[in-house]
Amino acid sequence: MRHGFMACGIARAEFLDDHAPALENWLKQGMHGKMSYMERNFDKRLDPKKLVDGAKTVVSLLFNYYPPESLTFKQDHFKISKYAFGEDYHQLIRERLNHLLSELREEMGEVGGRAFVDSAPILEKAWAERSGLGWIAKNSNLINKRKGSFFFLAELIIDLECAYDHPMATDHCGTCTACIDACPTQAIVSAKVVDATKCISYFTIELKESIPTSFKGQFEDWAFGCDTCQDVCPWNRFSSSHNEPRLLPSTELLDLDREAMIELTEETFGRVFAKSAVKRTKFSGLRRNIDFLKG
By annotation, the residues acting in catalysis are 118
Q: Do residues 149 and 230 touch, judged by C-beta distance below 8 A? A: yes
In single-letter form, the type of residue at position 174 comes to: G
Nearest of 59, 234, 87 to residue 149 by alpha carbon:
234
Q: Do residues 15 and 139 touch, judged by C-beta distance below 8 A? A: no
Q: Which residues contact 121 (CB under 8 A, 6 or more apart)?
A: 37, 40, 41, 44, 45, 51
CA angle 184, 136, 119 (to 5 degrees): 90
- Stretch (H or E) spanning 61: strand 57-64
Q: Do residues 124 and 131 touch, judged by C-beta distance below 8 A? A: no
